[in-house]
Amino acid sequence: MNTHKRRLTGTLAAVAIIAATTLFGVAAPASAATCSGTGCNNTDPYTTGCNSGASLIHTYYTAGGRFDMFYSGTCSTNWIQWTGPNICTWKRVQSSYGTWTTWENDHATWSYSRQIYAPGTAWVQVEWAAGSAAYGSGTCAAGAWDYAHDVGRHGWYTV
């Protein structure tokens, strides 16, 4: 193929790529986490992207459901999630890299706490509670519980 034909073919290929990208868009690569280090403390593991590739490291069964502890290798964070009956749950975590997160109180069959930075062998402590779905007229707005409550169950640690 002569130089003119190669140059024309290369130019047409470039134009085709630009046109396809403009017309159809190109999927953006998966975004990295929007927090890092202690900047992840007390943030949402789902909106930050830290939930991507998270590992389940512990499960505790109570009140007809379960609390699961997750570790994010992406952000080096931990959080807990509730899966079970539609009751009031309260959840928070802390680690050797930060104080307790804000209480997350929910009335749902699935919910989760804020996350805490806990790299490597950092310790993680959790506090959770489960209460009646009718508590606080269904708002779960206050910090009382009647089914179960625990702090630091099993001294959960990250992996």
- Residue 104: band (very low, low, confident or very high) from pLDDT cuts 50, 70, 90: very high
Query: What pLDDT was estimated at residue 120?
Result: 85
Task: Count CB-CB contacts under 10 A for residue 63.
Answer: 22
- Residue 131: band (very low, low, confident or very high) from pLDDT cuts 50, 70, 90: confident
Between CA 90 and CA 92 the distance in angstroms is 7
Collapsed DSSP state (helix, strand, coil) of residue 77: strand
Q: Does domain 38-155 have CATH number 2.40.50?
A: no
pLDDT in tens, 49-98: 999 999 999 898 988 999 999 999 999 999 999 999 998 888 999 999 98
Query: What pLDDT was estimated at residue 101?
Result: 95
Structure tokens at 124: 């993680």
Structure tokens at 34: 């929007």
Between CA 121 and CA 119 the distance in angstroms is 6
The pLDDT mean for the chain works out to: 76
Q: Is the pLDDT of residue 29 over 80?
A: no
Task: Count CB-CB contacts under 10 A for residue 134.
Answer: 12
First-residue to last-residue Cα distance in the chain: 59
Between CA 4 and CA 50 the distance in angstroms is 51
Q: Is the pLDDT of residue 100 over 90?
A: yes
Q: Is the pLDDT of residue 42 over 90?
A: yes
- Is the entire prediction scored with pTM above 0.85? no
